[in-house]
Structure 1
Amino acid sequence: MLWFILSLASAFLMATNAAFLKRFFSDLSPWEMGTIPFFYASPLCFATLLIMDAPPLLDGFFPAMAWVLPLSGLAFLLHFRAVYLSPLSLTMPFLGFTPVFVIVTGNMLLGEQINTTGTVGILLVVAGGYVLNLDSAKYGLLGPIRAIIREPGSALMLLVAALYGLTSVGGKMLILTSSALFGPMLMFALIGPMFAVILTIARKISLRTITRRPLLGMGAGVLLFLEILCHNLAISMIAAAYMVTIKRLAGIFSVLYGRYLFGDRDILFRLAGTLIMTAGAAIIVLLG
């Protein structure tokens, strides 16, 4: 039962961090807002590495890290840019598409196949995306589909879900070639400095700006660190499919945050769509 609590905590922390950043850092650029949690979580990840026993690193660890690290960094930045651009209730639920993309990447990289049940899950996820924008149906049956394309955060989060479909497979490679905590902690320890250096050189962020509110920044960093910890501890206790299914509930938490913290409207359609997408994701990862 502890794995379920940790998985649910990971979903809650993911949604809470997105709401926290939107509430306190939406005045910054999306690049700066996306950098802050990783910048402040990095020292916590380094400290964890120092106090834990390093596992033997198997062949494939460093090649996997070489592509998972930059691709994860890109996905995280686009994730927070989507949150910056659009309401939480119209962005976070689209992470429910991640299992759909995992099926594709799993087939490409691991030779995994889907069955009829998995196809049903895919259709449910797509239907949930339609219901999410059902308030646009007054413009015709294709209204919700056009709304997904028209809403920049929703469209961007679909791209993020596709990237997570790749990085989740890569993350599994890191765990298999090290341990449940070492690989992820090393990756997140490196992402913070990587963001700071690259984006400062590219003049996308200012270090003065992201360190201007250190207490709030530390809050975002702690939320991210706890999410990393809960996520990977849960995976170490139970099959990843069960853990991922529970974490998809982050979309529902985000819909509730959007309604009660930011006054998002049409919440019934978005909550119903999120529930359908979550059901589809559950079918894909558990029965697909």
Structure 2
Amino acid sequence: MTWFALSLAAAFLMATNGAYMKKFFSDVSPWEMAIIPFFYSVPMCTAGIIFSGIPKLGPGFYPALSWVLPMMIVSVILHFRAIHMSPLSLTLPFLSFTPVFALITGDFFLGEKLSGAGISGMALVVIGGYVLNLDSTRFGFWGPIKAIYREPGSAIMLAVAAMYGFTSVGGKVMIIHSSALFTGFLIFVLLGILIPIILIGVGKASLGTILRKPLLGFGSGFIVFTEIICHNIAISMVAAAYMITIKRMAGIFSVIYGWILFHERGIRYRLIGTAIMTVGASIIAIYG
């Protein structure tokens, strides 16, 4: 179950970076917060390419890169745009639907077939992830669904979840035609260069702010660098939908960080969601 351990590690690192950014970069804009991990991971990912080497690239590598990269850039920008426009409790729940889209795209692009038990486990993780992110007092269970029709951020985040479903599978296509580490490192080098150029160019971010805390910035970059390694090796070993489903358990680690570091309250829905996700992940690990 190496893939499961690596996927869970990627989930932990994803949540760790979120808590790290909130702890040390809460004074910057959401746009600059989006840039910093990508920007500071560039030197490490570049070194990773140098030391791991450039593998022989198959015929499907560049066609996949040609649409995965722009879609990832758009999805990252829209992700933070949605959070900026609407409450977190009306946007974050929709990220839990990424595995559903990965299930569809994985079948279409890669011909990945999942077991009935595995799909059942995925459904539980998706439901648990949705419940995990609900606000316990303001909007209720159906609040985010209803908000699609009145909150632009909710509709945007659902579109982002669909894009992540495509990019995760597209990334695996690139891995098949190269290697797991090369694909991950290359994509993040390009993201770390292009996203800052775009957001600084349109006036959404300041280079001075991004460079203000270099040591802390490299700390975030290192977390992302380690996450890239775990993510790409894991997704190369198993169906993309399974891997993305386990990685969505980052929400559980985020809840723990929120409780320990930031003394967050209102954990009723979070405890319920955590229990549901844990059962779903166990089913995938054992029967998927």
TM-score, normalised relative to structure 2: 0.81
Distance 1:89 1:248 in 2: 16
Secondary structure at the aligned position of 1:44 is classed as helix
Aligned to 1:144: 141
Matches for 1:123-138 after TM superposition, within 5 Å? 124-125=124-125, 127-128=127-128, 129-130=130-131, 133=134, 135-136=136-137
Distance 1:156 1:219 in 2: 30
What is the root-mean-square deviation of aligned Cα atoms in Å? 3.4
Aligned residues: 283
Secondary structure at the aligned position of 2:180 is classed as coil
Indicate how the Cα distance of structure 1 residues 243 and 189 shifts in structure 2: closer, same or farther if over 3 A, else same.
Answer: same
Aligned to 2:9: 9
Distance 2:192 2:234 in 1: 23
* Structure number having the greater helix percentage: 1
Distance 1:83 1:90 in 2: 9
Aligned to 1:179: 179
Distance 2:179 2:281 in 1: 26
Partner deviation per Cα, 1:70-91 (whole Å, 9 max, x = no partner):
2122333444566778898987
Distance 1:235 1:125 in 2: 17
Q: Does 1:18 align with 2:21?
A: no
Aligned to 1:160: 160
Partner deviation per Cα, 1:197-246 (whole Å, 9 max, x = no partner):
1222211111111111111111111110111112223445x424664454
Aligned to 1:39: 39
Distance 2:282 2:28 in 1: 36
Gap regions ≥5 residues in structure 2? none
Question: Deviation of residue 287 (structure 1)?
Answer: 6.0
Kept in 2: contact 1:9–1:230 (CA 8 A): yes
Secondary structure at the aligned position of 2:136 is classed as helix
Matches for 1:35-184 after TM superposition, within 5 Å? 35-80=35-80, 94-110=94-110, 117=117, 120-121=120-121, 124-125=124-125, 127-128=127-128, 129-130=130-131, 133=134, 135-136=136-137, 143-147=140-144, 150=147, 157-184=157-184
Matches for 1:134-283 after TM superposition, within 5 Å? 135-136=136-137, 143-147=140-144, 150=147, 157-236=157-236, 238-240=237-239, 243-277=243-277, 279-280=279-280
Indicate how the Cα distance of structure 1 residues 134 and 91 shifts in structure 2: closer, same or farther if over 3 A, else same.
Answer: closer
Q: Which moved more, 1:146-155 or 1:46-55?
A: 146-155
Kept in 1: contact 2:96–2:127 (CA 8 A): no
Distance 1:251 1:178 in 2: 31
Kept in 1: contact 2:93–2:131 (CA 8 A): no
Q: Which moved more, 1:61-70 or 1:119-128?
A: 119-128
Counterpart AA for 1:218: F
Q: Which moved more, 1:262-271 or 1:128-137?
A: 128-137
TM-score, normalised relative to structure 1: 0.81
